[in-house]
Amino acid sequence: MLHQSNSQQFVIRTKRKYTFLNQHNKQERSCAQKSCKRQTLTLFIRKTVHILLTVSRYDDYDVIVGQGTVFLEMYNQFKQQHGEDAHFDAIICPVGGGGLMSGVSTCCKELLGEKCKVYGAEPLNANDAQRSLKSGRLIENEAPPKTICDGLLTNMKEKTWTIIRYA
């Protein structure tokens, strides 16, 4: 992604690292794909380029609502292909940080009620959702799992957890 602000340019790319490049002083900063390091880099960019707003890629109600449109598209395409009487019995959705799962489960419940079950899917080494549901409270993974999948390097947060626990 290329962004210009105050005659500065910075580049953020995802290929096992994020890089910030300030054209004025040729300063480069990198970090691994770990949430805490990503947040540190984001704060550095916000201060340097004077960005006023940062939106979470999953723990934001507007993002969650947008993720619900995935279900709407799927539902509409399914109805077009199989007829108006066709219905879903179940949806399996990846969890990660919980944004997609929150949006899909909310939209599915709103449209279909209890007719369709929504199941979360996550690997055993990144199962914060499963452990949280069993304990009844939000539990984060102790360490990021060893994976190349960016979506699994996150933990659920309070907003996504609140929605998922009642899905």
Q: Which amino acid is at 149?
A: C
The maximal CA–CA distance of the chain, rounded, in angstroms, is 62
70-97 pLDDT tens trace: 999 999 999 999 999 998 999 999 999 9
- Domain 61-164 belongs to what topology? Rossmann fold (3.40.50)
For the chain, the residue count is 167
pLDDT at 60: 87
Query: pTM for the complete prediction?
Result: 0.69
Q: Rounded to whole angstroms, how far apart are CA atoms 148 and 158?
A: 25
Q: Report yes or no: 156 and 98 within 8 Å, Cβ to Cβ.
A: yes
**In the chain, what are the domain boundaries?**
2-49, 61-164
